[in-house]
Every structure is written in C-alpha cells, then in structure tokens.
Amino acid sequence: MNDYRGQSIDLQALIDLYQEFVPNETDEIWNFLARQLDVSRQTGDMRGQSMVLQRMIRWQETHRPEDEDKLRALLEEQLAVNRSGGDARGQSIVLQNMIKWHEKHRQNDADGLWELLYQQLEVNVASGDLKSQSMIHQGMINWKKKHDQNDTSGLWDLLERQFTIEQERGNEKGMSMNMQLKINWMELHAPEDHNGLLDLLERKLALEQRRKDIPGIGMMFQRLINWVEKHTPEDHQRLWNLLELQYANQQKSEDAASRGMVIQRMINWIENHDPTNAGALWDLLEEQLEANREGGLLASQGMGLQRMINWVLEHDAQNTDRLWDLHVQKLQVSVDSSDLMGQCMALRQMWNMDKASPLNKERILFIREAIPSAKPEDVKAEFSIAALRRAVGLDDTEFPKVVHHKTAQDKALSSLMKHGVGMGGKGGPWVVTELHTHWSEKAVEASGPLEDGDRPCLIYDLPNIYHSMQNRNVNFEVFIDHISATDSTLFAHVTLTFLLENWSAVERLMEVSPDMKFVYPHLYGHVDEDASMLQFSIDHNAGIVTNDKMRSERGTYPELQKTGVFSRLLTYSIGSDEFQLHR
C-alpha cells in the first residue's frame, strides 16, 4: 500500500533541506515540488494540491520570471483545484493574482481583464464576502474609466452597486469615498444637474458629520459654499449660514490656516453684503489675526493688520493710540519675517500719522531707532531705507558705499539716492526735487503771476494714470501711443512705491520717449509725494495731467490757492484704444 502522506512529508523535508543547504539547486527543488504535486493528485487532496501549486508559483516567479506562460498555466491550475475543492476564498486570491499577471503581461487585452474581474466578483457574491465585492467593484470602476470611458451610465451603475455594498457592510468610510466618486461623476458627466449635485453634497456632509470627520466636514461645507456661489449667488443669507457652520466646524480643528481662510470668506461676505456692520467686521479681523498668529503665518498676519489699520482709518481715525498700536504690531511682523521692505512701509505709515495728529517725541524717536540697516545686495530695500532716513531727519552715514547693480532698476535707484536737486546732467532722465515741511509757504513767496494759455510743458501723474488704466483693464500701450504723438516737453511724476513696483512702465516710457524726464521727490519731514507735482507746476508753469482732484492737498496747503496751481490740473479720459487729454 502506497503511503502518500509519508511521501509528501519526505518530499517536503527534502525541499526544506535543499532550500537551507543547497539553495542554488533550484531545478532539484522544482522536481521535488512536481513530485509532491503528483502525490497530492493521487490522494485527491485539493487543499494539498493548492498549497503545492502556490509554492511552485513562487518558485516560478523567483527563478523563471521570463516564462510568463508557465506562470499563467500554474495559476489556472490552482484556480481549477480551488473550484473543485469549493474554496471560495482561495479562488478569489488566485483570480486576484491572475489579474495582476494580466495587467503586467497582457496590458492590451482589456476584455480579458474584465472577464477576470467578473469571475472574481461572481465568486465573492456567492461567498457573501462584501469587503471583497467592494474592492472588485473598485477594480471594475477603474477599468471603466480607462477602457470604456463612453459608458458613463455603466460607470454610474457600478458606483451605485458599490455604495449599496458599503451600506450593507456598515462601512461609512467606504460610503464616503464612494460618494466622492459619485460627486466627481456628476460634475464630469452631468454638470447641468445642479440639484443632483447638491443632493450628493448634502448627503455626503451628513455622512461626514455622523463620522465626526472634521476635515471631511470642512471640505463639504466648502463644496456647498462653492455650489451656492455658482448656482444661487443671490442667496446671500444661505451663503452666510454655510460660512458660519464651516467656521464652527473649523474651531474644532487644530488647522489654524484653514480657520483663517474661512474667516477671510466671512470678511468678504460682510464687506459685500453688510458693509455698514463695522463692528462685526472688526470682530472677524481680530479673530483672523488670532488664527494667523496661532498658525505662525507671518505674511497673513501682516495683511490682516493692514486691513485692521484701514478699518481704524475709516471708522475710528481720531484714535491715534489704537492706530499706533496696530502699526507697531505690523512692524514687528515684518521684523520677525526679516522683511526690510515691509519694515520700511510700516515705519513710513507710522511717520505719516503726523498728518492727522503731530507725533510726540517718543514716537519720533521710536521710528528713528526702528529703521533697519541697509544691505548692499538689496538695492530696493536700501532705496526705501534712504528715503525713510531722509524724511525723519537722519543723515546717510549708514548707507552702504558699495552697491551691486544687477539690473537697470538697481542702477537708477542707486543714482537717485545720491542725486543732487535739479535736472540730471548729460541728458539724464531724472529730475530730483526737494521738499521740506514748510515748502508751500516759500513756494507762495517765490511764485510769479499766473500765466494764461497753453502750458510750456506738462507733468503727468504717472501712478494715477497707470493704476487707472489697470483698473479699467486697458493696455498701457494706449498711453504710450499718446506720449509718442505729443510734441510738448514732457515730464512724469513718479513716487517711491511706483519705482519699486512698476519699473517696467518707467522703462517703456524711456524707450519710446528718450527726452521725457521723470520727476522724483526727496522728502524731508512730513510731506506728501504728490506735493512734488504742485511745486514743479509752480516753478515751471506746467500743466498737471491727473484725475486726482487734489482735495487732500487743497486742505493741507490752502495758501497755494494764491498761486493758481490748482487751476492747472488737466483731466484725461481712457478708452479701449485712446488716451485723451482734456485741456
């Protein structure tokens, strides 16, 4: 009588010995496995056959991976064995391995892959394995997306069946993932079904709320907000309610950045739909600043503080202590972020507070001591620092003596820092003016009688013109065409900020009008940059091309009315292809 069980044990012992002591004898190991499989066949041991076939498959993958057909034959035999033995789980595993084989070696046979997926699904439906059914449906969904993109209804049916399976499993995470796929399907294949999308979004939100998934809830609120803004933008109250719910959810999260973004949306809503509710706006600005501080978001803190400064200027302008405190906070943010330009901007704003209420000695000293040191490699920052030191009455002994000019802009800024007052020499493009705090009184004393008729020259308010064109989405070349066709002696008023941020406009004017001069002011004390145009007009009887009505300057310098300078303002209009000067 043949002892098949003993033979199988002996063969396994030989296999183990060879694998441990002579692992390079791979062919012998294969022969032992083949004999062991034959023994299992003789006994009708389906489970034993499947186990041996699995070892043979591993051997084939390790030692003969190039023989893909042999590997496929072994997998098919193992599948047949598991079917005969009624091993549903084993069948599913083998079919999954056959799917992997197919994806690697038969990439162009999409129908063959679908057939394997369908067989695997049938096995798992029969066994009642819901988890595997869901996974197979995902594989079929992926197949549809890749190989049958036109069958959108078939894809939807698969998504529906997968969701039902996840419901039966009670797997809310799987339901959530499936609903996201359905939302994606709706947006891609039925974008006109707005209400259908809304239903899915609301159902997924309810699901995330049951799961207590804070990030997931936040994402769904955002998707609903986007839906309202796109499809029912007139429903302002609904939008506000969603924003409040999203903010309440974000307060449970440690994601300070996301909380700050939600608050920003609420701020935008207040500004657009309830602009008179200044108190609510201030509360939101404070909450946003706190969130940005918690998140260590320095750039966002700086922007938020600037909006708070703007709020105070609009609603509580006489409260200089409150305004000063906000400026100090903004300055500190710029210091913490090593932002030299930001520091200069903050200090310049603090210095300009004098227009509303004279600064006391302590605050003047604070500004002077807070001015950062210049760096030769950062010409823009050096230029800004030099202007600030000049305004507050400090000398230039701390300016770097060696400057690295990387661009034409760097060279121009460096030149302006050291430029003497008056016209640039050797045909240079710059005219530097010098204004002190009481410049207007001297201008009145020195001014001659008002001359009528055409002005011998014009000075263009370049920042005013440039930003007006930007706001109307008109190409700057329209102004360039006007300049090219003008015969008058031309000057352009420029400011520190304009030279730093809009140098390309200056360069373009230099190209088309080599004779144009750019008037830049050196300011000492508390003087507005636009005063430079008024002084230039008085000195040269020039017309000022601007749509700025100069209300602030008329109030600050009432004595200039005697010079007639405000009658020299020339307005302009901008069309899509024309810049027209109104004389």
CATH code, domain carrying 467: 3.40.50
278 vs 109: CA distance, rounded Å: 66
Q: Which residue has the tokens 């001014």?
A: 447
Per the domain annotation, does 18 fall within a domain?
no
pLDDT score of 243:
96
pLDDT score of 1:
47
Residue 442: which residues within 8 A CB-CB, separation 6 or more?
Answer: none
Helices 214-231 and 194-211, packing angle to 10 deg: 160
- Token pair of 521 as six digits: 């002011």
In total, how many domains does the chain have?
1
pLDDT tens per residue across span 242-296: 999 999 998 888 888 889 999 999 999 999 999 999 999 999 999 999 999 999 9
238 vs 273: CA distance, rounded Å: 12
User: Are 91 and 62 a contacting pair, CB within 8 Å?
Assistant: no
As to burial, measured by CB atoms within 10 angstroms (0-12 exposed, 13-18 middle, 19+ buried), residue 209 is middle
Q: Name the phi and psi angles at 580, rounded to 5.
A: -115, 125
Per the domain annotation, does 125 fall within a domain?
no
Per the domain annotation, does 496 fall within a domain?
yes
Domain that includes residue 470, residue range: 419-581
Per the domain annotation, does 535 fall within a domain?
yes
Residue 101: half-sphere exposure toward Cβ, Cα within 13 Å: 23
pLDDT score of 425:
44
Residues in the chain predicted with pLDDT less than 70, given as ranges, are 1-4, 355-357, 396-405, 419-427, 447-455
pLDDT score of 305:
97
555 vs 356: CA distance, rounded Å: 12
Per the domain annotation, does 481 fall within a domain?
yes
Q: How far is C-alpha 151 from the chain's CA centre?
A: 36
Q: Which of 97, 65, 63, 61 is nearest to 78 (CA)?
A: 97
User: CA-CA-CA-CA torsion for 406, 409, 411, 413, nearest 10 degrees?
Assistant: -130
Q: Report the 10 Å Cβ neighbour count for 273.
A: 12
Residue 243: which residues within 8 A CB-CB, separation 6 or more?
Answer: 225, 262, 265, 266, 269
H or E segment to which residue 518 belongs: strand 517-523
Tell how many helices (H) and how many strands (E) occur in the chain.
Answer: 27, 9
Beta strands in 137-236 (DSSP E): none
pLDDT tens per residue across span 170-205: 999 999 999 999 999 999 999 999 999 999 999 999
- Token pair of 463 as six digits: 């920042």
SS in 3 state form for 443-475? HHHHCCCCCCCCCCEEEEEHHHHHHHHHHCCCC
CA angle 525, 526, 531 (to 5 degrees): 110
Q: Name the phi and psi angles at 574, rounded to 5.
A: -125, 120
Per the domain annotation, does 428 fall within a domain?
yes
Per the domain annotation, does 108 fall within a domain?
no
Per the domain annotation, does 455 fall within a domain?
yes
- Token pair of 283 as six digits: 């509360």
Q: Which residue has the tokens 């901007």?
A: 345
pLDDT score of 213:
93
